[in-house]
Amino acid sequence: MADYEERRSLLGEEDEGSFAGRQPPRGAGKQMPAICDPSHLLHRVVVLVFMCFLGFGSYFCYDNPAALQTQVLQDLNLNTAKFMQLYAWYSWPNVVLCFFGGFLLDRVFGIRLGTIIFSLFVCVGQVIFATGALLNRFWLMEVGRFVFGIGGESLAVAQNTYAVNWFKGKELNLVFGLQLSMARLGSTVNMNIMGWVYSQVALMVGSTGYTALGGSLMIAGVTCLFSLICALVLGFLDKRAERILNKEQGNTGEVIKLTDVKDFPFTLWLIFIICVGYYVAIFPFIGLGQVFFIEKFNFSPAEARAVNSIVYIISAPASPILGFMVDKTGRNVVWVIVAVVATLAAHMMLAFTFWNPWIAMSLLGVSYSLLACALWPMVAFVVPEHQLGTAYGFMQSIQNLGLALIAIAAGSILDNRGYLVLEVFFCACICIALMAVVMLYFVDYLKGGDLNRSAAARAKLQKESTSDAEIKRRPSKPTEGELARLAPMSAFGLRNRYLSRLGAQLPDHCSTHLSSLAYRSVLK
């Protein structure tokens, strides 16, 4: 409230200034129109639109290879292992960048310049990628994906930082949700439209082949250009708001200290194993899904793309709902077990039956969302807040490492051994995650059950520690997640909370702030 008052008064002053210094749009009236007033909701809505579309391009283009899998394989005469390199090259830079994205944004570029630079990377990366296809030079395409990867993940961090900066204390939760839905929308639209784009380009060019492929990837690149424009507009609006409201430039607030790694508890390592084991069975699978559905279930290419995108479609509405549910019930470990078992069941259905894949993929979509909601917030329970940035950065980093390696492995398994063995391999990865989560359950139980406490028990504990805190003014052991949560929240902590609300997905990249959370792969 006080904050708001202060801003009002600042706004008042600035208003005068702006009236004198710059021309308000109509030149008359003391008050700016609501849409131009940075403190007004309407203006923030406009900003929100740009914010949402900021990430649209990179989400759209990330899954271009999956959407055009048959065409890429045929036009460039690739085998699947090479095809999956396109995904691996996206992940490689992020093995390192997860630790530095936030630092670059905070200390080196600043949020505005940083966002523009990362958008440029995304744009240039996609253009290189498309040029590689146009010239039928596969190595150039790999370079393109690498450059694209440098920009993509960090752009997600920037997007989240902008969100926190503009909406902190207001509609932040909703904004994260909207950004997430927008990301899913980008992926879904890509999956379902690129085949059509390709056939139109092929008609125009006169034949299929790498020229048509390059052309359609160039067209996909328009979305990146669009996102770049959004970044420029956002930069301008943010600068303007800074001048008018006299506020500070947004900060990711993330602190990464690699030496923290040695202090990570055993449970956190188990969480890492779950994270890697689980996600490597999701994203590489989606990358390879289209041809799988065509070959095994005789789907038409359009239908195959649709069923492949159902995971994203489901997770858009399911993430907030499941996140709410997990928040209300607690017992995160049990939810993770449920999600992992459901995913295992879905993969086994795809591997060993001819049942309609809509069933398995829908189950996969729900369990994927559930896992995200239950798994990522657990990190906040097992490490103290000051190590959270490092923990999330580390988690994303090894996740990217896992994704890059498994993508290549999955491609060559498919080439040599076929889809059954590939699915069995994915099942094995999920089984590793399952072993880790079962161990996590018992370890946590023997340790006293922080992670698997019900929401009611957590609330009770929180109450007790609150009264404690009132006496002591400061909660005692920072290692206790519950207590740590009681401390006044930093922007980082706040975001973390939102993350936990929204589920992993957010942390992944939305929370980003959670710093490293910016991980796009989770959102994909």
Partner 1 sequence: MAAAALDKRSGGVCVFLLSFVLILCQTLVHGAEPYKRQLSVQLYPNYNSTPPGGDLLHVRAVGDNDTLHFLFCSQGAPTLLIVHTNTSSSTMKVWPQVNWPEFWARNTSGSLTVEPQSSVLYSSAIVLSRVRNASSRPLLEYDDVNDTAEPTSGFFPPYELKDFHWLPLSLRSPTALLCGADPAFGNGSLCLELSVFDSEGRVQTLPRLLHSANSSQLDVWLDGILPRSSNSRFLLELQSVGGAYPLSRVDIRQSIDDEFTPSIFKVSQWVSSVNGSSDVLGFVQWKPVAYRHTQPVLEDATPCRHSDPQAQSGEAAAASSGLIRAFYSNPEVMGLNMSFGLAGEPFYNSSRFLSWTVLVGVGSPPVDSFSPMVITIMAVGLGTPMVLLLLGGVCVCLHKKRAATAATYEPIN
Rule CB under 8 A: which residues touch partner 1? Answer: 73-74, 77-80, 199, 202-203, 207-208, 266, 291, 295-296, 351-354, 414-421, 424-425, 427-428, 430-432, 434-435, 438-439, 441-443, 445-446
- State how far the Cα of 382 lies from the Cα of 480, in Å rounded to an integer: 7
d(CA 113, CA 107): 11
Q: What angle do CA 519, 523, 524 make, to 5 degrees?
A: 95
**Distance in Å, CB of 432 to partner 1, minimum:** 8
Q: How far apart are the first and last CA of the chain?
A: 37
**Of the candidates 235, 2, 23, which has an alpha carbon nearest to the alpha carbon of residue 10?**
2
3-state secondary structure of 330: strand
Nearer Cβ to partner 1, position 156 or 351?
351
What's the min distance (Å) between Cβ of 107 and partner 1? 39
Among all chains, which residue has been given the structure tokens 């990711």? 252
Task: Give the nearer residue to partner 1 in terms of CB position, either 6 or 295.
Answer: 295
Nearer to partner 1, 104 or 433 (CB): 433
- Determine the distance from the C-alpha atom of residue 518 to the mean position of all C-alpha atoms in its chain, rounded to a whole number: 6
Closest to partner 1 by CB, 409 vs 427, is 427
Please report how close the Cβ of residue 90 comes to partner 1 at its closest, in angstroms. Answer: 22
DSSP H helical ranges for 135-171: 138-167
Q: Which is nearer to partner 1, 208 or 479 (CB)?
A: 208
Q: Which is nearer to partner 1, 267 or 515 (CB)?
A: 267
Rounded Cα–Cα distance for residues 126 and 389 (Å): 29
Residues paired with 330 in a beta bridge: 454
Q: Which residues contact 85 (CB under 8 A, 6 or more apart)?
A: 142, 407, 408, 411
Distance of CA 235 to CAs 23, 54, 70, 246, Å? Answer: 20, 11, 39, 15
- In whole angstroms, how close is the CB of 379 to partner 1 at the nearest point? 18
Q: How far is the CB of 458 from partner 1 (least distance, A)?
A: 21
Spatial separation of the C-alpha atoms in residues 309 and 66, rounded to whole Å: 10
DSSP state of 108: I
Minimum distance from residue 353 beta carbon to partner 1 (Å): 7
CA distance 359 to 367: 12
Q: C-beta of 365: minimal distance to partner 1 in Å?
A: 22
Query: Whole-number minimum distance, CB 297 to partner 1, in Å?
Result: 8
Q: Is 204 exposed, middle or buried (0-12, 13-18, 19+ CB in 10 A)?
A: exposed
**Cβ distance to partner 1 smaller for residue 148 or 425:** 425
Q: Of 178 and 341, which has the nearer Cβ to partner 1? A: 341
**Shorter beta-carbon distance to partner 1: residue 80 or 400:** 80
Residue 260 CB, shortest distance to partner 1, in Å, is 21
> What is the Cα 291 distance to its own chain's centre?
25
Shortest CB 295 distance to partner 1, Å: 5
Quote the CA–CA distance of 59 and 217 in Å, as a whole number: 14
DSSP 247: P
Compare residues 301 and 365 and give the one whose CB is closer to partner 1.
301
